[in-house]
């Protein structure tokens, strides 16, 4: 697949976003004119740009051009007079790295298309296999989807530019595969029931593919956040969790061993678990620049079956300063 690495501002920037841009900086670069609380919205958008660069690297467009594109998406879905909090929540809910990658592809970045192929080509093939009758047909369907989003539409822009980040790119691509499979089967008069493909939820095989993609994306950040969270607990807190979940001791047995009241043991274990989750969430947001929605998705998919044992991390954690427990009775 051949792409051009040149990024024309007029080619990549929606007209609504162009109208949001103000004076030209030195060299003709467009810069955003921010007033009042709008700066906070663009701070979040800049965070999404940073998260995308962290995940996919430099794709050949500036923070300002990307910011105008994301802002134009926000402007289509949020009322101009809406409270600032509504704008911030909308930006935070966007799938930032996916939107960064898709914008690079729509801009004709060869690096973006290479990253897209690495991340999603196998996923598309496996989705296509579910909706076709053979390996060759699946390969053809996957290639047709990739070609379809690569080729320009009537306005001369790559069709992947229509992706707006409100769902994950994987979900958006899954819908394209299903719709194209329906069209291909209709064309060849092989459809028995369109309803078979228009299922409301993905089937078991499709779901396994989707979950595997999520695990590949979030496994490394999740494990690092969990490692830091375990290290952030005091020695006493880690001991409580190890005794409870590794040693399988009952509450009164832990209380007797640590000379604590049983009610304090129960409350402290619950508090430690809440603290552990809060530490993981904070690290995913601050260090890995995940949006609140992405953090929720990460924990939902990986917390029950983490890539690395939590108990093993607790045992290996570096010593942390002890915290006095609230209301302990000895």
pLDDT at 116: 93
pLDDT of 276 reads 87
With a cut of 70, list the residues of the chain below it in pLDDT. Answer: 1-37, 153-155, 186-212, 303-305, 318-330
Q: What pLDDT shows up at residue 103? A: 94
- Identify the pLDDT of residue 275: 87
The residue to which tokens 């029950």 are assigned: 304
Which residues are bridge partners to 21 per DSSP? 32
Helix (H) or strand (E) holding 125: helix 110-130
CB atoms closer than 10 angstroms to residue 91: 24
CA–CA dist 9, 25 (Å, integer): 14
- Answer whether 139's CB lies under 8 Å from 149's CB: no
pLDDT of residue 208: 60
Q: Considering the entire predicted model, what is its pTM? A: 0.53
CB 175 within 8 A of CB 162: no
What pLDDT was estimated at residue 207?
A: 58
**What pLDDT, on a 0 to 100 scale, did the predictor assign at position 30?**
34
- CA 78 – CA 81 distance, rounded (Å): 8
10 Å CB burial of residue 198 (0-12, 13-18, 19+) is exposed
Q: Is 231 exposed, middle or buried (0-12, 13-18, 19+ CB in 10 A)?
A: middle
Q: Where are the domains of the chain?
A: 9-106, 110-205, 210-316
Question: Which residues have a Cβ under 8 Å from the Cβ of 65 and sit 6 or more positions away?
Answer: 7, 9, 12, 13, 30
d(CA 142, CA 151): 14
Cα–Cα distance measured from residue 84 to residue 155, given in angstroms and rounded to the nearest whole number: 33
Q: How many CB atoms lie within 10 A of CB 211?
A: 14
Q: What is the pLDDT of residue 16?
A: 39
How far apart CA 286 and CA 291 sit, in angstroms, is 9
């Amino acid at each position: 697949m051949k792409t051009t690495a040149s990024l024309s501002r007029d080619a990549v920037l929606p007209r609504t976003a162009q109208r949001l841009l103000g004076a030209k900086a030195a060299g003709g670069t467009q810069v955003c004119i921010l007033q009042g609380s709008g700066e906070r919205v663009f701070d979040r958008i800049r965070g999404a740009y940073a998260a995308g660069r962290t995940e996919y690297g430099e794709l050949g467009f500036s923070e300002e051009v990307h910011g105008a594109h994301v802002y134009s998406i926000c402007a289509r879905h949020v009322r101009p007079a809406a409270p600032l909090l509504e704008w911030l929540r909308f930006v935070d809910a966007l799938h930032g790295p996916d939107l960064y990658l898709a914008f690079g592809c729509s801009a004709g970045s060869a690096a973006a298309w290479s990253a897209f192929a690495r991340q999603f080509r196998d996923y598309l093939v496996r989705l296509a296999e579910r909706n076709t009758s053979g390996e060759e047909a699946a390969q053809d369907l996957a290639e047709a989807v990739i070609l379809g989003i690569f080729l320009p539409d009537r306005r001369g822009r790559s069709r992947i530019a229509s992706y707006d980040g409100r769902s994950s790119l994987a979900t958006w691509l899954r819908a394209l595969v299903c719709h194209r499979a329906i069209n291909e089967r209709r064309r060849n008069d092989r459809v028995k029931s369109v309803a078979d493909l228009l299922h409301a939820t993905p089937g078991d095989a499709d779901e396994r593919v989707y979950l595997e993609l999520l695990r590949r994306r979030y496994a490394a950040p999740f494990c690092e956040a969990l490692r830091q969270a375990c290290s952030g607990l005091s020695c006493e807190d880690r001991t409580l969790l190890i005794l409870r979940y590794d040693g399988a001791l009952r509450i009164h047995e832990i209380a007797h061993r640590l000379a604590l009241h049983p009610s304090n043991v129960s409350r402290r274990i619950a508090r430690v678990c809440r603290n552990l989750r809060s530490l993981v969430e904070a690290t995913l947001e601050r260090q890995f620049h995940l949006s609140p929605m992405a953090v929720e998705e990460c924990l939902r998919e990986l917390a029950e079956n983490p890539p690395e044992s939590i108990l093993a991390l607790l045992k290996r954690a570096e010593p942390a300063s002890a915290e006095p427990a609230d209301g302990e009775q000895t």
